[in-house]
Amino acid sequence: MMENERFWPYWAATKRLVVVLALICFGGITLGLIFSHLLDEFRLFGFPLGVLLTGQFLVLLCIGIVFWFTGFQDHIDTHYGADEDL
């Protein structure tokens, strides 16, 4: 495990990225669940919009956040010289 002081900024940047993206995911899920009953009045493709939002969009949001994480983490790795040579 890297316990050297020179790696602390790298881990701080990684931790900050994880916290921000987790808050976005948590906020999207929370808001989707809170307001889904209000959106059920509208229909899209015959389904209530609240059901589509909570059942489909929020899952896609979290999957998208995983892909965003890998892209942002690559930038952090490159910036701090921790990128992999393939």
Find out whether 82 and 10 touch, Cβ atoms under 8 Å: yes
Find out whether 39 and 49 touch, Cβ atoms under 8 Å: yes
Three-state DSSP class for residue 47: strand
Three-state DSSP class for residue 80: coil
> For residue 64, what pLDDT is reported?
92
40-65 residue pLDDT tens? 888 888 888 888 878 888 888 889 99
Backbone φ and ψ for 44, nearest 5 degrees, come out as -135, 120
Distance CA 29, CA 34 (A): 9
Domain locations along the chain: 8-79
> For residue 1, what pLDDT is reported?
44
Q: Residues 30-34: what's their mean pLDDT?
A: 85
